[in-house]
Amino acid sequence: MMSTNEQVDWEIPVEARLRPEDHAFDLERALSAIVFIRSLVPEDAFTAQVLGTERAGNGILISDSGLIVTVGYLVTEAESVWLVANNGQTVQGDVVGYDHESGLGLVQALGRLTVRPMEIGSSSDVRVNDNTILAAGGGRRHALTSRVVAKREFVGSWEYLLDEAIFTTPVHPNWGGTGLVDRNGRLVGVGSLFIQGAGPNGADGNMVVPIDVLKPILDPLVKTGHTGRVPRPWLGLYAADNDETIVVAGMASAGPASQGGVMIGDEILQVAGSPIRGLSDFFRRVWRLGPAGVEVPLTVKREEHGLVEIMLRSANRADFLRKPRLHA
């Protein structure tokens, strides 16, 4: 699954840094909206074992009120969040909410940040081969000229799926929560993952969550801490494509799969009697059965047992997590 990448002691060499005169927008102002994020998560939190209790990355200020968007895994279940601006200003933050479908999270700065927010652009306007900037906190020292190498579906083993993610090269060393900035200085995506073979000729890169997925859920998340959507059924398993079959590679403790008789190594063949074709098809078939709580019939192939029929009672993933303090 994903992991949080720690702040590293690196800088873009002076001779290779972005130059303000090469851009049609105020580069320094745009990059100043990107802040460092450090969060602490209780040891008994549901995500602590996988994501750790100390997480570090970046976020982007998107409003004068101090609202920051970041990648959700940095702040999920966090009890303490600190924000550090490029000018050294440090303020505490509170988690507003996180959305499992998009993978994005929101943090509210509890003190006034003396920087200007970044304007939100449109990720749908981004094209393959566009030149962009992928930037972490720290200004031009931590900003890379990047290129969009693909826009395509992304599926993650942890029951995660984006219909169209953005893939960029080269790799940013501190990718979590970075801001993808277009040629007009607007925010068009939030860095999420390191991806091997993201670009042509097997070049490694980053997967970026397109900012357009935030727009429909931004207001309800801010007001209530929830997206307003009906929660999808969650099985609590980690699945992988393996030679054109779907194999259970792991399970969340106390999740529906581990409690319902699924075993690591099971090959998932059918959902509700329908054959599945790939990992994304598996997730979509489960989600089409109904909301969280719906029963999910699986047909699995188990070594030495042949075909096994399993009925899982799905769950709402959010019910397993600590709630943000702002909306507890």
* pLDDT in the model for residue 3: 39
CATH of domain 123-215: 2.40.10.10
Q: Is the pLDDT of residue 323 over 90?
A: no
> Regarding the domain delimited by 14-117+216-228, which CATH topology (the fold level of the hierarchy) does it fall under?
Thrombin, subunit H (2.40.10)
Q: Is the pLDDT of residue 43 over 90?
A: yes
**Element (H or E) spanning 167, and its range?**
strand 160-169
Tell me the per-residue pLDDT of 239-296, one tens digit each, with 9 for 90 and over: 999 877 899 999 998 999 999 999 999 999 999 999 999 999 999 999 999 999 999 9
Q: What CATH class is the domain 237-320?
A: mainly beta
Q: Is the pLDDT of residue 1 over 70?
A: no
Does 237-320 match 14-117+216-228 at the fold level?
no
* pLDDT in the model for residue 7: 46
Assign residue 304 a region (left: φ > 0; alpha: ψ between -120 and 50; beta: otherwise).
Answer: left
Q: Give the helix ranges, DSSP H, for the chain.
A: 27-32, 48-51, 218-224, 256-259, 279-287
Average pLDDT, the chain: 94
**Element (H or E) spanning 133, and its range?**
strand 131-135
Q: Which phi and psi (to 5°) does residue 191 adopt?
A: -65, 140
Tell me the per-residue pLDDT of 107-153, one tens digit each, with 9 for 90 and over: 999 999 999 999 999 999 999 999 999 999 999 999 999 999 999 99
* pLDDT in the model for residue 324: 83
Say whether 247 sits in a helix, a strand or coil: strand
**Annotated domain spans of the chain:** 14-117+216-228, 123-215, 237-320
* Across 43-47, 184-188, 267-271, 321-325, least confident range: 321-325
How far apart CA 200 and CA 190 sit, in angstroms, is 22
> pLDDT band at 4, cuts 50/70/90?
very low
Q: Is the pLDDT of residue 297 over 90?
A: yes
More reliable by pLDDT, 197 or 177: 177
Q: Is the pLDDT of residue 170 over 50?
A: yes
